[in-house]
Amino acid sequence: NMDEFAFGSSTESSAFGPTHNPWDLDRVPGGSSGGSAAAVAAGLTCVALGSDTGGSIRQPASFCGIVGVKPTYGMVSRYGVVAFGSSLDQVGPFARSVEDAAAVMDAICGHDELDCTSQQVKADFRAACKQDVAGMRVGIVKEFMEADGLTEEVRERTLEAAAKLEAAGAELVEVELPHVDAAISAYYVLGPCEAFSNLARFDSVRYGLCDEGHKDLGGQYESSRAKGFGPEAKRRIMLGSYLLSSGVYEKYYYPAQQVRTLITQDYTSAYQKCDVILAPASPRTAFKFGEISDPATMYLSDVFTISLNIAGNGGMSMPCGLGRETGLPIGVQLMSPQFKDENMFRVAMALEKEYGTAPVAPEFSDGKAGE
Ligand code: GLN
């Protein structure tokens, strides 16, 4: 299960109804790939795949207390995936251990002639898991640690993870991403524009629901699209169609592309000072169903994940214990320069030595999950 067309952060916009968080059934598992994350956290499967356009692997991984990897753009083929934002989408694994995630990465990464954005990559993730972190430089992003809305318990666990890496021989350095506060605004221009264009193919003829019995094709398009898309998909389609209309395009789409360049440059300069960045994955732990009803507030839940899709770099979320206040799983995010995703697996292994592999959520740990 997932949010419809991968639009969302909670699975509440799934066409089939929401998925529940195995750690607390009153709470969301995160999204959009919430079904995959919940299945792994409940022990129904040891690995699953998700897609990440703005955080949809890393945020549910953090809410469900498991490992979730968003590889560098171009590392994994998207062939067969329904496109959302073609310049942002990437597929990656969920797992309860870093080595399981590495085994999936070794299997899925590399060139596929059916996805022209996929690259020939030389990577050995399982080998990277055997290297230690001594001498690695781990960047802490000033703007992220000072961000509004970052809860104290997430901040605390993030800094604790950084301290554990330092104790394991890594060097901590402060880095800056001065344009990162514009990431969400840029994403909610670029994402809907690309989604609007990609979803045009759901025309009831080749793809999507077909509401038959209309005298003319226009009527069939109109009623099929009105019935076939849920409210969040419609919101994004309307937003994208508005943003790409003449006169508006120049005002929003161009500046968003300029912001994209600035954010990419920010990451490039930050990676001159460090090999991996460590950050929170989500500002808070899993929220309750219905707790966030306003779309604009929901969009803010990806504040630490979105900039990385904009830059096309690699990122992953790793469990780093439970929150002192909520008692719910917290994920720490590791980020890597483009095609240096093995770096974050080295760091993730060092953290896993401290925290252990992710447990199956307590209520499901009797082995009866799924019965
Ligand atoms: N939550 C973000 C959104 O709603 C990201 C979704 C994703 O990565 N697929 O667009």
pLDDT tens by residue, 46-76 = 999 999 999 999 999 999 999 999 999 999 9
Phi/psi for 363 (5° steps) reads -65, -20
Query: What pLDDT does 367 receive?
Result: 65
Whether residue 370 lies inside any domain: the answer is: no
**Does any ligand 1 atom lie closer than 6 A to the CB of residue 52?**
yes
Containing domain of residue 155, as a range? 4-364
Q: What percentage of the chain exceeds 90 in pLDDT?
A: 95
Whether residue 320 lies inside any domain: the answer is: yes
Whether residue 335 lies inside any domain: the answer is: yes
Phi/psi for 336 (5° steps) reads -130, 160
Question: Per-residue pLDDT for 298 more than 90?
Answer: no
Query: What pLDDT does 366 receive?
Result: 80
Question: Per-residue pLDDT for 369 more than 60?
Answer: no
Q: What are the tokens at 312?
A: 């096309």
Neighbours of 55 (CB within 10 A): 32
Whether residue 23 lies inside any domain: the answer is: yes
SS3 category, 122 = coil
Each residue's pLDDT tens digit, 181-239: 999 999 999 999 999 999 999 999 999 999 999 999 999 999 999 999 999 999 999 99
Each residue's pLDDT tens digit, 87-114: 999 999 999 999 999 999 999 999 999 9
**Does any ligand 1 atom lie closer than 6 A to the CB of residue 32?**
yes
State the average pLDDT for the chain. Answer: 96
Query: What pLDDT does 257 receive?
Result: 98
Q: What is the CATH number of the domain that holds 62?
A: 3.90.1300.10
Taking a C-beta distance cutoff of 8 angstroms, is the pair 282, 291 a contact?
Answer: no
Question: Per-residue pLDDT for 344 more than 70?
Answer: yes
**Does any ligand 1 atom lie closer than 6 A to the CB of residue 71?**
no
Whether residue 70 lies inside any domain: the answer is: yes
Whether residue 223 lies inside any domain: the answer is: yes
Q: How many domains does the chain have?
A: 1
Nearest atom (ligand 1) to Cα of 84: 9
Whether residue 371 lies inside any domain: the answer is: no
Query: What pLDDT does 371 receive?
Result: 47
Gap between the Cα atoms of 148 and 127, Å rounded: 38
Whether residue 332 lies inside any domain: the answer is: yes
Centre of ligand 1 to C-alpha 135, Å, is: 35
Q: What pTM value is reported for the model?
A: 0.97
Which amino acid, 182? Answer: A
Nearest atom (ligand 1) to Cα of 306: 5
Neighbours of 205 (CB within 10 A): 12
Taking a C-beta distance cutoff of 8 angstroms, is the pair 130, 350 a contact?
Answer: no
